[in-house]
Structure 1
Amino acid sequence: MAANLFGKLASDTLGLSDIGKIIAPSDFDKVDGDDYIMHEDGEKIFFVIKSKSDEYVFTNYGLLHVDGASAMSKKRTVKRHDFCYETVSGVTLETAGTIDADVEIKFHFNEMPFSIDVDKKQLEILKDLYKALLEISRIQRMNYQRVQDGAEGLKMANDAISRSSITGDAAQVVKNLTDFNFNWMVDLRKTHNNRDFSETFKKYINN
């Protein structure tokens, strides 16, 4: 235990630890992840955490993770997690103890877990990201429930129609019903599937 503690303190002192730093908005254009942002499509950076080997770039469209194998390697893997395709869950924030040098924010994009250590001096700023991700998770859950309710309502309507007598061209009636069902579900998902969470980030993060 004492040896592990000594090793951690030595690592922090020598600057070898992988504790992330929150990057100021004025420096967003200097991070590696900025090169992969879809600026042409209106994507905007709202929050960046950078460690020696990784960058976590939070945008209005999702998370861009620039994944480094190690601090010594220049090799990077760029991974995207979009809000319109993946849901955020399990958002937690762990504050630091007396001797800890870092705090930790944890969350999932679908089944992919993330655990990011951040300098404890930046806890107050990290709280803003915590609140934004928590709100995004809440909105996504609410949207999912609305889509489920809409689909259930459509099913009930179809069941009622199936018990009724069909008049006219049966094939055309079936085609019209199929087209209606398809368009209903497309519109439902489009209405209740946020791609852009700019307003949520603006609400909680002061850039």
Structure 2
Amino acid sequence: MTGAEDDGERTGPVRVFLVDDHALFRAGVRAELADAGDRVEVIGEAGSVDEAVAGIGHFAPEVVLLDVHMPDGGGSEVLRRVRDRQPEVVFLALSVSDAAEDVITVIRGGARGYVTKTISGRELADAVCRVAGGDPVFSPRLAGFVLDAFSQGPDSAPIGDPELDQLTPRERDVLRLLARGYAYKEIASELFISVKTVETHVSSVLRKTQLSNRYELSRWASDRRLV
């Protein structure tokens, strides 16, 4: 059965639970999905892992829109704590990150798809309906990461990089945007953090990678397909 056929047999909208640590972003997603028609309905939301686990258990949504990076563990931790308890719930990652390791980690954790936050409201509603109907959904350039990672089978070893692994998720986000040419102020705006915090993360990344400047960091990030 295709996702479209499944949607045609529905008697109501797909029930969605939204997980993201930024309240402003959650409000924006709610508004975008509301404008996209009556195919989906946001029935609850959470800003932390603990809130997400409790909320998913209470509301029993069909689809969870899941942020990858949050201060208390992120999407992988939510998946770990919910998947066995509520195997019927479908997870669709919705993240600012388009890094291969983030995509692979949440898919291995049990998410059915992964889209980036540049997606439009109508496209997001389409993605929610498709994963609810059983289809995997990925932003265009991300599907290749998954195919590469699972080409040796679903239990093959995950991609690892000792140098990259020493960076925190937030440091990777800052590095990725820095390597794309974003100014510190633009990075701060994109990640909802202060310029001072951006500077702190950049200093930490330079120290951990033993590099000297943003140009070397850009090459380092490009070599690891972070850009």
Per the normalisation by structure 2, the TM-score is: 0.25
- Richer in strand (by share): 1
- Richer in helix (by share): 2
